[in-house]
């Protein structure tokens, strides 16, 4: 993979141009990594050129702004971003599937998946590349919310390290959500259906699990729901506490969904 071919991919920015980048390189080794990088860059570019991403970004920022003013910047309440982080985590249940819905589904819809399947890159690399592309875009989106940190610092003295912990948590949580979104996107050629599937899956791990953890009829059910509750694991980070258990939870969840996505993509070869 040369620098020239990478530039070409970025310029083209379409699924059909992808084949040009894979000039006989195998799915593993240096050229495999290069192909993966190229897919990541292309995914990132497609998000940056997508109007839906900006609309999602606008709505996300607008709502977090509302929550910030209404709940975080309350005189007498604790000077921390904790409540806002919790709200952001809940918003991501809807926001991130909207970003990931086209990642693979669009390839199916346009037929470019066939080109991708014949390219010298493994299915896992394709999935990971798509995941990384969305994750980078998501990180950029998160960076825009730093405006709230700056505003809070003007009026109070939040503890910087706790805010940092919250962002670490949001990245890990976002990673898991994106992986679930990519998995959903692999399951169908219809983007809206993919988004809906992802929202449903994430809602189970967030709102349903949260409700179950709180109001589950049996103790064992509450315990299980409590463990599956993504928002519960995230609250540690929003408190400025990095818990290895929660880190493992998010990472293993991410890997599991990426594995599922890979297997779904792989199944096209033998179905």
Partner 1 sequence: MAVKEKNMQATSAMGRRFLFGTNVTVLILLVLFITIVVNFVAQLPDFRSRADLAGGFSSHRLSDRTKQIIDQVNGEIGITTVYISEDPQTSRKEYFPKLRDLCDEMKQYNKNVRVQHMHTGDERAQLRDRVQDMFRTVADEHEKAIELAESTWEGLPGQLEPLEKSIEGVRTDRNAWIGSFTTLARHSAKIGDDVENIEETRKEVEDLVRGEGIPRYQEANNKIKQTNNELKSDLEKARDWFKNMNALAEFLSDADSAFGKRTREELGVGEKLVQALVKAIGDPADTSVPDDPVPVLQDFARSAQAVSGWLVDEVTRINEFAKQTPSIEEHPRWFLRVSQGIFEMQMPLPMLLSEMAESLSGNAERARLALSQQVPKDQLQHEIRRFRQMAGNIETNFGVWKTSIETILTDGTKIDPASKALLALAGQEETFKEVLDKLGEVAKAIDDLPDLELDDLAERIEEDNLVVVECNNDVRIVKFDEVWPIADPMAMRMMADSSEETSRVFDGDSAVSGALLSMANENPFATVIFVGYETQPPPQMRQMGQRPETGPIPMDQLGTLKAKLELANFVTKEWNLGGEGEGADCPQPQEGTVPIYVFLPPASPSPPNPMMRRPPEQQFGEPELEKVRMALARGAGAIFLAAWEPPQMSMRGPMPSSYGYDKFLEDEWGIDVKYDYRLLRVVPDDRELDRFSLDIEQINHLQLSSFTDHPIGDPLRARRMLWLSVCPVEPLKNVPDGVKIAPVLEVRGSARELWAENNAGINRISYALQTGKRGATFDKDPVNSWEPPFSVVLAATKMIEPVAEEDESKKDEEGKTPEAPARESKVVVMGTGLSFIDPFMDRRVPRFRGEGKRARYATDPPPAEDAELFINAVYWLSGKEDMIAAGPVEVPLIPALESGTKQTVFSVTVVWAIVVLVVGGVVMMVRRR
Q: Cα torsion at 252, 256, 262, 267 (round to 10°)? A: 160
Query: Of 35 and 44, which has the nearer Cβ to partner 1?
Result: 44
Half-sphere exposure in the Cβ direction for 124 (13 Å, CA): 7
Q: How far is the CB of 243 from partner 1 (least distance, A)?
A: 5
Does residue 220 interact with partner 1 by CB under 8 A? Answer: no
Distance CA 223, CA 137 (A): 34
- Residues across the chain: 271
Does residue 211 interact with partner 1 by CB under 8 A? Answer: no
Query: Of 7 and 55, which has the nearer Cβ to partner 1?
Result: 55
Does residue 243 interact with partner 1 by CB under 8 A? Answer: yes
Binding partner 1 by CB under 8 A: which of 124, 136, 151, 193?
Answer: 151
Closest Cα partner for 246 from 172, 191, 136? 172
Of residues 49-68, those binding partner 1 (CB under 8 A): 49, 51, 53-55, 57-59, 61-62, 64-66, 68
Distance CA 235, CA 199 (A): 20
Query: Of 3 and 75, which has the nearer Cβ to partner 1?
Result: 75
Query: Of 25 and 174, which has the nearer Cβ to partner 1?
Result: 174
Does residue 143 interact with partner 1 by CB under 8 A? Answer: no
Does residue 74 interact with partner 1 by CB under 8 A? Answer: yes
Distance CA 202, CA 261 (A): 15
> Which region among 16-24, 26-34, 150-158, 176-184 touches partner 1 (by CB under 8 A)?
150-158
Binding partner 1 by CB under 8 A: which of 96, 235, 261, 265?
Answer: 235
Cβ within 8 Å of residue 54, ≥6 positions away: none
Closest Cα partner for 172 from 207, 212, 148, 142? 142
**Around Cβ 37, how many Cβ atoms within 10 Å?**
18
Does residue 37 interact with partner 1 by CB under 8 A? Answer: no
Distance CA 261, CA 255 (A): 10
Closest Cα partner for 245 from 260, 263, 232? 232
> Which region among 92-100, 156-164, 177-185, 201-209 touches partner 1 (by CB under 8 A)?
156-164
The three-state secondary structure class of 211 is helix
Q: How far is the CB of 47 from partner 1 (least distance, A)?
A: 11
Does residue 109 interact with partner 1 by CB under 8 A? Answer: no
Rg (the chain; Cα; Å): 20
Cβ within 8 Å of residue 219, ≥6 positions away: none
> Which region among 1-9, 108-116, 173-181, 246-254 touches partner 1 (by CB under 8 A)?
246-254
User: Which positions lie near partner 1, rule CB under 8 A?
Assistant: 48-49, 51, 53-55, 57-59, 61-62, 64-66, 68-69, 72-80, 144, 147-148, 151, 155-159, 161-162, 164-165, 214-215, 217, 219, 222, 227, 235-236, 239-245, 248-249, 252-253, 255-256, 259-260, 263, 266-267, 270-271
């Amino acid at each position: 993979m040369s620098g020239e071919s990478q530039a070409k991919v970025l310029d083209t920015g379409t699924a059909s141009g992808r084949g040009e980048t894979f000039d006989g390189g195998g799915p593993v080794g240096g050229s495999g990594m290069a192909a993966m990088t190229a897919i990541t860059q292309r995914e990132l570019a497609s998000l940056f050129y997508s109007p839906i991403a900006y609309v999602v970004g606008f709505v996300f920022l607008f709502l977090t702004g509302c929550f910030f003013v209404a709940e975080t910047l309350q005189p007498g309440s604790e000077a921390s971003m904790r409540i806002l982080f919790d709200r952001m985590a809940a918003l991501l249940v809807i926001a991130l599937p909207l970003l990931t819905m086209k990642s693979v589904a669009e390839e199916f819809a346009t037929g470019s998946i066939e080109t991708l399947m014949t390219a010298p890159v493994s299915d896992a690399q394709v999935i990971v590349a798509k995941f990384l592309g969305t994750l980078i875009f998501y990180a950029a989106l998160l960076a825009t919310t730093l405006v709230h940190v700056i505003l809070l610092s003007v009026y109070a003295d939040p503890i910087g390290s706790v805010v940092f912990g919250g962002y670490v948590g949001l990245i890990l949580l976002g990673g898991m959500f994106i992986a679930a979104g990519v998995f959903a996107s692999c399951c169908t050629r219809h983007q809206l259906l993919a988004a809906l599937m992802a929202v449903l899956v994430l809602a189970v791990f967030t709102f349903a699990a949260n409700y179950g953890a709180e109001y589950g009829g049996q103790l064992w059910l509450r315990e299980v729901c409590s463990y599956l509750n993504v928002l519960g694991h995230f609250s540690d980070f929003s408190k400025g506490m990095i818990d290895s258990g929660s880190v493992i939870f998010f990472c293993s969840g991410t890997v599991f969904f990426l594995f599922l996505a890979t297997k779904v993509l792989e199944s096209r070869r033998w179905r």
